[in-house]
Amino acid sequence: MTKKAELHYDGKVYELPIITGAENEKAIDISKLRGQSGLVTLDKGFKNTGSCESAITFLNGEEGILRYRGYSIEDLAEKATFLEVAFLLIYGELPTAEELDNFKEDVSKHTLVHEDVRSILDGFPSKSHPMGVLSSLVSSLTAFYPKSLDPNRSAEEVNGTIIRFIAKLPTLAAWSFKNRMRQPVIYPDNSLDYCENFIRMMFSLPTVNYEINPVVAAALNKLLILHADHEQNCSAATVRIVGSSHASLYASVSAGIAALWGPLHGGANQAVIEMLEEIKADGGDVDKYVAKAKDKSDPFRLMGFGHRVYKNFDPRATIIKKAADDVLSELGIEDPVLDIAMELEKVALEDEYFKARGLYPNVDFYSGIIYRALGIPTDMFTVMFALGRLPGWIAQWKEMRENNEPIGRPRQVYTGATQRKYVAIDKR
Ligand code: ACO
């Protein structure tokens, strides 16, 4: 017998079906509630609302579990390559050796972007934030591939758009950095793997061929895997809702990049380092900043702390913290900002305010420290996140289309003026 929840309202009882997920999580299906009772639900920020059923990523915030298609993030980050994980997220299964070879080859054939992209790039001032540039360049792909505007094409054609996207994003991301530095762009080298090719496009110059450090390439591979998907977060939900109007994949992800940019979401990795540097410049008084974060009259928050879903620990942060230690010691880097981060983490974790609210370091707390060690400038950090998140956005968009989901259109509770009469002013 299917379970039901009952809602008692105004002398009537409404039965609401209970939906059970693969990991036994339960949801009340309220989709017919308004038609039956006239009621809508109100849940600002969707804190307690499921927007879809999804088979891509499972996370349990209480127990700190994160799995892509059933595989634990710990295993994938330790053993897989980023393209393998991208394949898993997008197509639902890990690739065979042959499928992976074909996928890598397909991706490597499409890394070049149209030469006219350089003219668009040249139009951006050098001070442009690379996230704004990236979002615009991704949107501009619709102009170079107008057929991609129709998301209802054959699965094979949609797949062509997907492959092209994975192939070109590293080029666009590295070029947004080159624009920032006012350096000539470096063209992709298809003989290199995904991470190596990106690193080379970032750091090489026409006059200097950057020697790729395998430690740097391996750390980047791990970071991209850790960022590859995270179920219905702000940017993934944005991608799905934009795509639900049948907007193209490029347009939907361009919007996702904009959503990721904000400091409460992916932009936190940049904000963390800026905060740690500020604390350092201010004499390194960690207690002062913890007190500021607790003070409700002060807008300051500890960046890199807290998460909508994780209220115990963020499993990605645990992996990244270890990776940060490894990378710094392997590259022989001593970063005073890391000392401040460790102290801040210790003080906050022992503090009642943070304990009571389940506020722990999130993925962004340590990722910036690794990016710094890899030589990536602060305002490129969120671009790195976007590069990692692309397979997740694609998988979310594809699933939403394949499930034929209706257009996303929330309800509201109107609180403005009730009807009033327009009286024309005397227009002298
Ligand atoms: N510093 C101080 N207090 C905090 C912090 C923080 N970083 N985060 C939450 N709180 C407090 C809130 O003030 C609130 O206190 P109250 O109950 O006394 O009012 C309580 O903890 C709950 O916080 P909410 O803002 O209601 O939680 P929400 O789920 O809406 O926000 C968020 C989650 C946005 C991540 C928040 O914790 C935050 O702003 N963190 C800092 C930014 C950050 O690191 N973002 C990256 C998240 S990971 C990612 O997107 C990849």
Provide the pLDDT for residue 380: 95
Q: CB of 201 within 8 A of CB of 362? A: no
Query: In this structure, which residue's CA is closest to atom 46 in ligand 1?
Result: 265
Q: What is the mean pLDDT of residues 130-151?
A: 96
Q: Within a 10 A sphere around the Cβ of 63, how many other Cβ atoms?
A: 11
Provide the pLDDT for residue 1: 64
Tokens of 408: 């996303």
DSSP string, 27-70: EE--TTHHHHHS-----GGGTT------SSEEEETTTTEEEETT
Please name the residues in contact with 420: beta carbons below 8 A apart, sequence gap of 6 or more: none
- Range scoring the smallest mean pLDDT among 212-216, 243-247, 250-254: 212-216
Topology adopted by domain 4-50: Rubrerythrin, domain 2 (2.20.28)
What percent of the chain shows pLDDT beyond 70? Answer: 100
Domain boundaries defined on the chain: 4-50, 72-404
Q: What is the pLDDT of residues 290-332, one digit of tens each?
A: 999 999 999 999 999 999 999 888 999 999 988 888 888 888 9
Q: Which atom in ligand 1 lies closest to the alpha carbon of residue 293?
A: 2
Query: In this structure, which residue's CA is closest to atom 20 in ligand 1?
Result: 357
DSSP string, 323-349: HHHHHHHHHT---HHHHHHHHHHHHHH
Q: Which atom in ligand 1 lies closest to the alpha carbon of residue 307?
A: 35
Q: Which CATH number does 72-404 carry?
A: 1.10.580.10
Going by pLDDT thresholds of 50, 70 and 90, the confidence category of residue 334 is: confident
State yes or no: pLDDT of 2 exceeds 80: no
Q: What is the pLDDT of residues 32-55, one digit of tens each?
A: 999 999 999 999 999 999 999 999
- Range scoring the smallest mean pLDDT among 13-27, 95-109, 165-179, 317-331: 317-331
CA 361–ligand 1 middle distance (angstroms): 11
303 lines ligand 1 (CB under 6 A): yes
Provide the pLDDT for residue 410: 96
Please name the residues in contact with 187: beta carbons below 8 A apart, sequence gap of 6 or more: 112, 171, 201
Provide the pLDDT for residue 280: 94
φ, ψ of residue 114 to 5 degrees: the values are -55, 140
State yes or no: pLDDT of 374 exceeds 90: no
User: Is the model's pTM score more than 0.75?
Assistant: yes
364 tagged catalytic? yes
Q: Within a 10 A sphere around the Cβ of 174, how many other Cβ atoms?
A: 26
State yes or no: pLDDT of 17 exceeds 70: yes
217 lines ligand 1 (CB under 6 A): no
114 lines ligand 1 (CB under 6 A): no
307 tagged catalytic? yes
CA 351–ligand 1 middle distance (angstroms): 15
Of the residues 229, 230, 307, 379, only one is catalytic, namely 307
What percent of the chain shows pLDDT beyond 90? Answer: 85
CA 386–ligand 1 middle distance (angstroms): 21
Q: What is the pLDDT of residues 184-241, one digit of tens each?
A: 999 999 999 999 999 999 999 989 888 999 989 999 999 999 999 999 999 999 999 9
d(CA 190, CA 109): 7
305 lines ligand 1 (CB under 6 A): yes
Q: What is the mean pLDDT of residues 13-31?
A: 96
268 lines ligand 1 (CB under 6 A): yes
Q: What is the mean pLDDT of residues 400-418?
A: 97
